[in-house]
Structure 1
């Protein structure tokens, strides 16, 4: 089987790597991000890709920065048939990409040229898209700008979050990659140049983007909650304190209340947003608390607010 250097970090990458392993590709090396300290206790965690690689006795490299590293010097000596990346999280040096005998290939979570960049799945939800997909593309020096070898689309459901889309797209990406790689070998692979006029970027989510603002409509706030679930999570400021919002529903009703006002806390917790729209909070996490269904919040802290009162700060 053809030889591969694989680069990836999260569950998305793990699913793709698992497909390559199960298909008996010759995985010469696996490159993933360094172990990270997570949580209040700062426990050191391995990436999902590293865990799978070690379980399959594959050689793992974890440079903090691949460019100029000792690890890169070793990897350049391998000269695999393919270099395959799936949510790795670093730019790759041109000389490394050029060391692939056949092609450097990326499994990208969007229908390019829409959503080049590090957060394509999140932006498809933030923007309320009805469709996303996978692009199998050639890696070049310019970010996500290489020729497209294959694409497959996926409908976005109303209850999808970035977590559910990551899971669905990882499977779609795995299957599309395994369908595409043999085409390089039998000469049937095709190339399609990206239309630069259609380029849309999806930069990594900033801290400022995590806050739900009252200038948003209920639909925009709902999309933000979906797009940032499960990581990093969207939040509102209630009485000056952050409250994470994990699940919401756009109400059919309209209100004359000012954006940020409590519409009702009777059996539900509904807040007014821009253009008279109303958003029901369904699952929240007050500061210092665990995630909870809204009924638990209403029976506790939420009961102190009065209908018509402005409770969200910007």
Structure 2
């Protein structure tokens, strides 16, 4: 079931927006939306995840979106559960014309999607219908995509399947990580949202139905996903290193301890020189044999130590071409 859009042209400006989001990417989009100061729109409330313990002192702190909302003195809801009559009543009390959702982190029930007078819209960090789901940025890097982008869509009950209002595209650089790409997409997403809101306000927001045959899916990332399988090819492992930087960080084992791999490069996409996970060189940098091809380790981190160049890590450690990773 979809939520039919209503024209914004018959509503009185400013249109009231309730913004739903949680992490830094969403916080940047919210900050840009507020800073734009468009008199046709007003963020009347923010919905974000509850405060969580953060830092060494485990101080209870708001999400990144919650912090932006506090800075701008925007009313904020932090429900532990959203599928309740109480939360729905709180949301409806703001009489929203639009819901703007950006990486909120929860699937919204139909009753919430039907709350705004005009429509619920979502800022999704991929070129839909590719990479629907929870980890579109990681998915684009893992797939070796040459480009990615942001899609602004009207939300329907099926996740990330709604009609698209607009898409914006950027190239993926060979050294882009999850972190660097997320920063680029936060900026792109903010600009795309402002364009989409302008279209909505002018009553000119044509929609494009997604091609279901082209849809791909991503799932939430776990620490287990970041464990390197050296029997895969070097290109795949190198993508994993970039896709999981800064979290959860690609990792393997060495001498029974975890070793995080922060940066790596494909030394050879085809070369073979021993068992998968075995060292084939240690100078000037360690090179590891994969199922196909070889991977050069450039920056690593051992337990309890800082990130460092792999060449520096080798100093003082008994690592040779007989050393084996992942065992």
TM-score, normalising length: structure 1: 0.95
Residue 313, structure 1, aligned to residue 320, structure 2? no
2:265 alignment partner, SS class: strand
CA distance in 2, matches of 1:219, 1:57: 47
Map 1:1-314; keep pairs closer than 5 Å: 1-24=14-37, 25-38=41-54, 41-68=57-84, 70-252=86-268, 254-275=271-292, 277-301=293-317, 304-307=318-321, 309-314=322-327
**Any conservation in 2 of the 1:258–1:310 contact (CA below 8 Å)?**
no
TM-score, normalising length: structure 2: 0.91
2:131 alignment partner, SS class: strand
CA distance in 2, matches of 1:269, 1:17: 43
CA offset digits 1:162-220 (Å, max 9, x no partner): 10111100111110110111211222111111111111001111333110111111111
Which ranges of structure 1 fall in alignment gaps of 5 or more residues? none
CA distance in 1, matches of 2:61, 2:296: 36
CA distance in 2, matches of 1:264, 1:69: 62
CA distance in 1, matches of 2:81, 2:250: 29
Residue 283 (structure 1) shift: 0.9
CA offset digits 1:215-263 (Å, max 9, x no partner): 1111111100100000111101112211111111111372322111111
**Any conservation in 2 of the 1:267–1:298 contact (CA below 8 Å)?**
no
**Any conservation in 2 of the 1:284–1:292 contact (CA below 8 Å)?**
yes
CA offset digits 1:89-127 (Å, max 9, x no partner): 011121121111111100000111111100000011111
Residue 65 (structure 1) shift: 2.1
2:6 matched residue in structure 1: none
1:251 alignment partner, SS class: strand
Which ranges of structure 2 fall in alignment gaps of 5 or more residues? 1-13
CA distance in 1, matches of 2:199, 2:304: 53
CA distance in 1, matches of 2:78, 2:60: 14
Count of aligned pairs: 310
